[in-house]
Amino acid sequence: MPRKYIYLIITYVAMQSSGLLVQPFMPLIENQDVFIVAWSVMTFAVALVICLIILRHEMKDFFQLREKKIGSIILWSFLGIILVMISQYTAIIIEQVVFGIKPGSKNTMDLMNVARQAPIFIVIISVLGPILEELVFRKAIFGSLYKRMNFFFAALLSGVIFAAVHMDFEHILTYTAIGMVFAFLYVETKRIIVPIIAHMAINTFAVIGQLSMDPEEIERQMEKMEQLMMILIGGQ
């Protein structure tokens, strides 16, 4: 793995672990919820800037449009959104039918609860997070693995790592499937901007969908989905 990609991963890990630096001072902070949100936004933004500096010599892959026209990028991004949705719902059905796992991600619910209390947190979910994750998990990790093994195993391994980082192991199949779709988009277009756009769009749709409903309505939708799953598998 190139040294710059190692630095990229170190930056991401440091950002995710940065809360440990301020943890001893939390009892001294009056409004801890506001501080945590502000700290998260700041560390994500700083990490992204650092990652872009590390990849400054590859920024043409980010912005240059000579090889791929804007229309092609938009088309592939739209196709990517559809593929992610298909893979996501397929994984949810498999989780329900094979493993008996109920739909609904605790990780997503926790993030949405924070977003309801502090809307600025949406910047992390819809913008900063997707860009960082695609640079780290697709460009650095998947890209390095793909040079040493075939697409399926490289996408699967990087997808599992992507899933594990989200700390929602009950739905690891769903996160892995989504990660593999993003890897496919990266390989097919040879441009990291495409999975970034698709990732941002999917997260934004999730935010809009979740925030437009109150918690009780979300619970009712989950129950309806579970009932639908039971019907599909022939349950009573």
Catalytic annotation, residues: 133, 166
- The count of other CB atoms within 10 Å of the CB of residue 161 is 17
Cα gap 191→208, rounded to integer Å:
27
Confirm if 134 and 80 have CB atoms less than 8 A apart: no
Whose tokens are 């902070």? That residue is 29
Nearest CA among 5, 7, 44, 16 for reference residue 141: 5
With H, G, I as helix, E, B as strand and everything else as coil, classify residue 2.
coil
Cα gap 232→211, rounded to integer Å:
28
Nearest CA among 8, 124, 128, 129 for reference residue 57: 8
Cα gap 89→114, rounded to integer Å:
25
Cα gap 231→222, rounded to integer Å:
14
